Amino acid sequence: MSTPPGVPARTPPSVPPRTPPRVLTVAGSDSGGGAGIQADLKTMLALGVHGMSVLTAVTAQNSLGVQGAWELPVEAVRAQYRSVADDIGVQAVKTGMLSSAELVEAVAELIGGTDAPTVVDPVGVSKHGDSLLASSALDSVRTRLLPVATVATPNLDEVAQLTGVTVESEDGMRRAAEAVLSYGPDWALIKGGHLSGDAVDFLTDGSDELWLRAPRFDNRHTHGTGCTLASAIASELAKGRSVPDAVVAAKEYVTGAIAAGFSLGAGIGPVHHGWRLTSATG
């Protein structure tokens, strides 16, 4: 096939492309494309890793909220995970929406048998306030999922849901982290986006501490922020970064995505996962 006029011919690479790091997301689908599996895979592509997915639930969801959710059978979740992990392999795992105790326990067992860092985003409530986690599953998250996490990334509502600790200012974030770490993750990243002032997050393993600050933008279109941050951390871990370095890089990426968030539908629009690409191309 000839090259069209005005289009430069492409020279095939002399060296086969290297396989990028592989990251597996275990999460629900967001039909509106702003959060969940869709946000995870967009983030992974933007950060140069190969994203793979295990679908745990299907939601009918748009900019106004979640109109319905249907959980997949545990055997379907387990089969997806084994299919990917046993053949392709994974270098990091990220979990999102796991709506029932049965699903939480099955996924925790799968992760426990996988030699890869895991980022657990303990999704409890959507951006619009819709519950995405059955109350009966909370204990399974505490006792089965958090103990196998490399990094747990709860927001302040999820901290309160899991630990009973209510945070109203930065002073309470260290106490929140201690409560989350008591369930066994290696690191806790407490997301302070619901506080006033700068967007402040606090990372600790109980010894080392890191405060991460970013300006708060006058932009309400922030759907998918939590999924995006957790996926970005997993992507950076898959590249071989340390947890603190991965979190710093992920925070920088998601800050740009929030700044570029755009209107979609009649409600809250998504963050812009491809902001670096559009910035580079003008």
HEC readout, 198-243: CEEEEEECCCCEEEEEECCCCCCCCECHHHHHHHHHHHHHHCCCCH
Q: Is the pLDDT of residue 39 over 60?
A: yes
- The answer, yes or no, to whether residue 4 has pLDDT greater than 90, is no
- Main-chain phi, psi angles of 62, to 5 degrees: -145, -160
127 is catalytic: no
Structure confidence by residue, pLDDT tens digits, 107-127: 999 999 999 999 999 987 655
| Buried/exposed 225-245: b ≥16 CB within 10 Å, e otherwise | bbbbbbbbbbbbbbbebebbe
Contact by Cβ (8 Å): 137, 124 = no
What is the per-residue pLDDT across 168-226, written as a single tens digit (0 to 9) for each? 989 899 999 999 999 999 999 999 977 878 889 999 999 999 999 999 998 999 999 99
User: Own/partner pairs for 207-214, CB < 8 Å, 24+ apart?
Assistant: 208/244, 209/174, 210/244, 210/247, 210/248, 212/247, 212/248, 212/251, 214/251, 214/255
Which of 258, 191, 251, 196 has the alpha carbon at shortest distance from 224? 258
- For 227, left (φ over 0), alpha (ψ -120 to 50), or beta? alpha
* Active-site choice (118, 153, 163, 225): 225
Is 42 among the residues known to form the active site?
A: no
Is 225 considered catalytic here?
yes
Reported as a single tens digit per residue, the pLDDT across 232-269 is 999 999 999 999 999 999 999 999 999 999 999 999 99
Is 228 among the residues known to form the active site?
no
Catalytic residue among 153, 163, 204, 222: 222
Confidence of residue 75 (pLDDT cuts 50, 70, 90): very high
Residue 257: both structure tokens together? 């995505």
CA distances to 82, 168, 189, 242 from 183, in Å: 26, 22, 14, 21
Residue 65 annotated to the active site: no
* 280 confidence band (pLDDT: 50, 70, 90): low
Band the pLDDT of 99: cuts 50, 70, 90: confident
Cα separation of 133 and 222, whole Å? Answer: 21
CA distances in angstroms from 177 to 133, 187, 257, 268, listed in the order given: 21, 9, 25, 29
Of the listed 227, 228, 251, 269, which one is catalytic? 227
Catalytic site residue 222? yes
Give φ, ψ of 224 to 5 degrees.
Answer: 95, 5
- Which 3 state secondary structure label does DSSP give 178? helix
- Of the candidates 36, 191, 204, 228, the residue annotated as catalytic is 191
